[in-house]
C-alpha cells in the first residue's frame, strides 16, 4: 500500500546492485537539484559488496532526505516497485545508479507539469556520455523532439532513458506495479503508462546524462541466450497487449512491432525455446494482420516450421538474417 502523498514532493527512487562508487555520483546529482521538497529512496537489490553500507551512510549524512532499504535480489523492476511503495511524492523520478540528473531537472519538469495539467509525464533532453568520458552534443535517442503522447512512438522502441522522465505519482498508481522482468522491464512499464493515453510535457533543456561504462549491464548479452530470450519474449507479449488496449492495431507502428516480434520469434527458436517462438510468431501474425506482404512472408515461415520444427526454422532464419 502506498504512503499518503505529500504535495509538491519529488520522490527519487534509485535501485542499486554492487555499485557503491557510481551510487555516490547518482545520489549527489539528486541532492544538487535546485528544487524542494525532495526525498531519495535507495533500494539495495541484494548487493554482495558494501553497497548497502554506502547507502546507509548517505541516510545518516542526509537525515530526513535519504532513506535506505535492502531486499533480496530480484532485478531492477521489483527494486523500483519496492521503492515506489515507500515513496510519498506527488512526482516520481526513477534513476539508475549509473546515470545522473542534471541541475534544474526537477524545477523545469515540475513547472512543465504545472503548466500542462493534462500531461502525466514531463521529459527533457538526455545526453549520452561514452565510456571514454566524452559527452555527446546532440540529444540522445528522440529526447530532443517534442512528442505529444507516449504511444504510438513507444511501440517502436524506448526513445528515452530511465532518468529522462518525471512522472506524476497518480499516473504510476494507475499503471500499476512494476513487473518482475529483469530485461526490458522499463520498456514494458512505459508502454503500460502509454496505454493509459498519457500525454507528455516537453522541456527543451538537458535534464539528465545516460552514462555508458565497461561494468555489468543487464541490457548486454547474447541474442541466442535462452534465459535472456525468455525474458524478452514475456516483455514483448505484455507490450503487445498494451498496444492492443491502446487501439494501435493496424497502425504503422504496430506493423513495425510485428517485425520485432518475428525477429525475436526466430531468436527464441534458435535458442531452443519452441513454445516462446510459436507464441511470438502468433502475435507477429496478429500484429501484421492488415499487411498482406508480411502475411505472405509469415505464411512461408509457418510452412517451414511444420516441416523442420520451430527450433530448426529459427536457426535457419538467424543464418539468413546474418547474410542479408
pLDDT at 273: 97
Give helix 274-287 / helix 226-245 axis angle, nearest 10°.
Answer: 30
pLDDT at 213: 80
Angle at 239 between CA 320 and CA 181, to 5 degrees: 90
Nearest partner of 254 among 154, 160, 137, judged by Cα? 154
Q: Are strands 38-45 and 166-168 parallel, antiparallel or unpaired?
A: unpaired
Residues of the chain with pLDDT > 70: what percent? 96
pLDDT band at 324 (very low <50, low <70, confident <90, very high): low
Cα distance between residue 113 and residue 104, in whole Å: 14
| pTM of this structure | 0.94
pLDDT at 222: 76
pLDDT band at 317 (very low <50, low <70, confident <90, very high): confident
β-sheet bridge partners, residue 11: 39, 92
- Summarize pLDDT for 234-282 with one digit per residue, the tens: 999 999 999 999 999 999 999 999 999 999 999 999 999 999 999 999 9
pLDDT at 218: 54
Q: For the chain, give the mean pLDDT.
A: 94
pLDDT at 21: 95
- Give DSSP secondary structure letters for 91-110: EEEE--TT-EEPTTHHHHHH
Which residues are CB-neighbours of 51 under 8 A, at least 6 positions away? Answer: 16, 17, 18, 19, 20, 23, 44
Helices and strands counted in the chain (H then E): 11, 8
pLDDT at 214: 75
Question: What's the rounded mean pLDDT across residues 60-85?
Answer: 97
Q: Does residue 219 or residue 154 have the better pLDDT?
A: 154
Q: 311 by DSSP, 3-state: which?
A: helix
Question: What's the rounded mean pLDDT across residues 77-81?
Answer: 98
Domain 6-211: state its class: alpha beta
- Summarize pLDDT for 110-149 with one digit per residue, the tens: 999 999 999 999 999 999 999 999 999 999 999 999 999 9
Question: What's the rounded mean pLDDT across residues 312-324?
Answer: 76
Could you state, in order of their start, the residue ranges of all structural domains in the chain?
6-211, 226-323
Amino acid at each position: 500500500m502506498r504512503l499518503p502523498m505529500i504535495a509538491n514532493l519529488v520522490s527519487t527512487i534509485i535501485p542499486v546492485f554492487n555499485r557503491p562508487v557510481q551510487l555516490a555520483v547518482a545520489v549527489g546529482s539528486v541532492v544538487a537539484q535546485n528544487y524542494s521538497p525532495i526525498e531519495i529512496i535507495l533500494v539495495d537489490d541484494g548487493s554482495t559488496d558494501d553497497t548497502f553500507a554506502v547507502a546507509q551512510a548517505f541516510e545518516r549524512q542526509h537525515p530526513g532526505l535519504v532513506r535506505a532499504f535492502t531486499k533480496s535480489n530480484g532485478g531492477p523492476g521489483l527494486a523500483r516497485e519496492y521503492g515506489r511503495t515507500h515513496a510519498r511524492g506527488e512526482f516520481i523520478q526513477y534513476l539508475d545508479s549509473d546515470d545522473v540528473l542534471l541541475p534544474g531537472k526537477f524545477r523545469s519538469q515540475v513547472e512543465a507539469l504545472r503548466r500542462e495539467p493534462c500531461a502525466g509525464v514531463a521529459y527533457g533532453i538526455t545526453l549520452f556520455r561514452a565510456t571514454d568520458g566524452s559527452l555527446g552534443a546532440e540529444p540522445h535517442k528522440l529526447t530532443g523532439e517534442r512528442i505529444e503522447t507516449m504511444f504510438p512512438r513507444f511501440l517502436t522502441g524506448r526513445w528515452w532513458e530511465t532518468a529522462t522522465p518525471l512522472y506524476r505519482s497518480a499516473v504510476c498508481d494507475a499503471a500499476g506495479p512494476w513487473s518482475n522482468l529483469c530485461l526490458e522491464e522499463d520498456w514494458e512499464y512505459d508502454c503500460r503508462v502509454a496505454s493509459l493515453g498519457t500525454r507528455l510535457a516537453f522541456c527543451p533543456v538537458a535534464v539528465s546524462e545516460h552514462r555508458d561504462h565497461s561494468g555489468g549491464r543487464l541490457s548486454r548479452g547474447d541474442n541466442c541466450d535462452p534465459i535472456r530470450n525468455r525474458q524478452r519474449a514475456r516483455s514483448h507479449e505484455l507490450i503487445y497487449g498494451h498496444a492492443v488496449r491502446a487501439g494501435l492495431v493496424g497502425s504503422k507502428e504496430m506493423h513495425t512491432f510485428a517485425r520485432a516480434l518475428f525477429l525475436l520469434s526466430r531468436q527464441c527458436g534458435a535458442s531452443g525455446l519452441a513454445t516462446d517462438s510459436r507464441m511470438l510468431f502468433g502475435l507477429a501474425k496478429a500484429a501484421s494482420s492488415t499487411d498482406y506482404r508480411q502475411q505472405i512472408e509469415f505464411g512461408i515461415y509457418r510452412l517451414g516450421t511444420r516441416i523442420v520444427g520451430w527450433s530448426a526454422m529459427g536457426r535457419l532464419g538467424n543464418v539468413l538474417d546474418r547474410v542479408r
